[in-house]
Structure 1
Amino acid sequence: MIDFIIIPSAYQKKEEEETNLLTFGTNQPDISLFLFSVKVTSLTVLHLSRTGSHLVKRDVSCSGHWTVYGSRCLLFVPRAMTWAKAEKNCLALGGNLASVHNWKEYQDIQSLIISQTQRPQKAWIGGSDAQQENIWLWSDGSQFLYTNWCRGEPNNRGVQNCLQINHTAMKCWDNLQCRYHLPSVCAKPR
């Protein structure tokens, strides 16, 4: 027997409200007869597993080791690699190196890294000015409007075309030569 809660987004309850747990047998529920009249635009499926006397709730809208933050799934990749290899790795996992569009998204990335490493770890995200100097682009194609550069950055000292985060105690951004090996943060839509 597997326990699931299926919640269409339009009907999601507030965290403190009671949600009914539905218990289904194998290959159940069978709703194939009703699919012709259902249009699902967004769905959250929560997988519940019993560990001792505790009930563990896990959001499975981001698969594997990805973690839900807002409308995105984020993944911290601790294996150090070049910026290009990190982007290729994220693409193979269905995402891109993370883009950052506001302070909240940057805080989400910080929270993810700290949850994995217990400290602010330098890491690649998806910013690069390799195509044209001083024109920063996100590898996912989104607009590069929000920045958190360290003082005096980007400085392009020694052809630095890739964006690393957590450069100083200020946890700000630095441009760095893309050939350096760093951990990375991938992102994909939920």
Structure 2
Amino acid sequence: MKTLTVFALLCAMMALTTAAALSEVKDEHGTVEVIQEGEHHVIERSASCPGGWNLINGRCFLYVPRSMSWARAELNCQSMGANLASVHLAEEYHGIKKMIEDKTHGHPQTWLGGSDAEEEGVWLWNDGTRFSFSYWCRGEPNNDGWQHCIQMSYGDNKCWDDTKCHYHLSSVCAKKI
């Protein structure tokens, strides 16, 4: 019995020593710097995002491979407390493209949350944020036959195109942390 007690105490002491040697520093974006005996490791944690979601530029993004119309895709995102994704920076767009490429090993045409259905040529994000960044393909948006919704990863340049909202595409949802 004494041997078992001594063994338990030794294990507890080793665990406490190891725990004391590790420290974490977390920033506002969920990045954690783990310091272990002079070594530094930076880990992108998505503890603030639900499982399967990806942290990009302080928001949580989810690629939805199931093809749906733009309206059905938006309803699907809303059912998860999100909206179809708005994009505000080039780095954010490239992060979204990389997330999709990592999941699909390709660049499928995918719905974003932009639309000019209310007034032709006035593009709005469905989450209410300001439409201040765009990545339109050359000659777009062109409203070629009543095109009111934004698809990403269009053409060779993987840029944005306005297309018909009833088409069935995959989608990207986004929500605040």
Instruction: Please give the TM-score of this superposition, normalised by the length of structure 1.
Output: 0.72
SS at structure 1 position matched to 2:96: helix
* Cα shift at 1:120: 1.3
Alpha-carbon spacing, 1:58–1:147, altered in 2? closer, same or farther (3 Å): closer
Give the Cα separation in 2 of the matches to 1:98 and 1:11: 21
| Counterparts of 2:28 and 2:144, CA distance in 1 | 52
CA distance change for structure 1 residues 12 and 120 in 2, over 3 Å: closer, same or farther?
closer
Deviations 1:82-111 (A, max 9, x none): 000001111111111000111011011101
8 A contact 2:73–2:171 mirrored in 1:
yes
Aligned to 1:18: 35
**Letter of the structure 1 residue corresponding to residue 119 of structure 2:** Q
Residue 61 of structure 2 aligns to a residue in which SS? strand
Q: What is the CA RMSD across the aligned residues, in angstroms?
A: 2.8
Aligned partner of 2:63 in structure 1 is 76
- For residues 58 and 172 of structure 1, the distance between their equivalents in structure 2, rounded to whole angstroms, comes to 29
1:117 aligned to 104, 109, 112, which one? 104
For structure 2, the residue ranges without an aligned partner over 5 or more in a row are: 1-21, 38-42
Letter in structure 2 aligned against 1:18: I
Query: Residue 125 and residue 6 in structure 1: after superposition, are their counterparts in 2 closer, same or farther (change >3 A)?
Result: farther
The whole-number CA distance in structure 2 between the counterparts of 1:164 and 1:186 is 13
Q: Secondary structure at the match of 1:179?
A: coil
Change in Cα spacing, 1:15 to 1:138, as seen in structure 2 (3 Å) is same
2:132 equivalent to 1:150: no
Q: Alpha carbons of 1:156 and 1:96: their partners in 2 closer, same or farther (altered >3 Å)? A: same
CA-to-aligned-CA distance 1:143-188 (integer Å, 9 cap, x gap): 0011111111111011000000011110110000000000000001
Higher-helix-fraction structure: 2
Aligned to 2:173: 186
3-state SS of 1:146 partner: coil
Does 2:80 align with 1:63?
no
Structure-to-structure mapping, 1:1-190, within 5 angstroms: 9=26, 17-18=34-35, 59-190=46-177
- Between Structure 1 and Structure 2, how many residues are aligned? 151
Change (3 A) 1:80 1:144: same
AA of the residue aligned to 2:128: G
Structure 1 unaligned residues grouped into runs of 5+: 21-55
Q: 1:128 to 1:7 in 2, by over 3 A?
A: farther
The TM-score, its normalising length taken from structure 2, stands at: 0.77
Instruction: Tell me the secondary structure at the aligned position of residue 87 of structure 1.
Output: helix
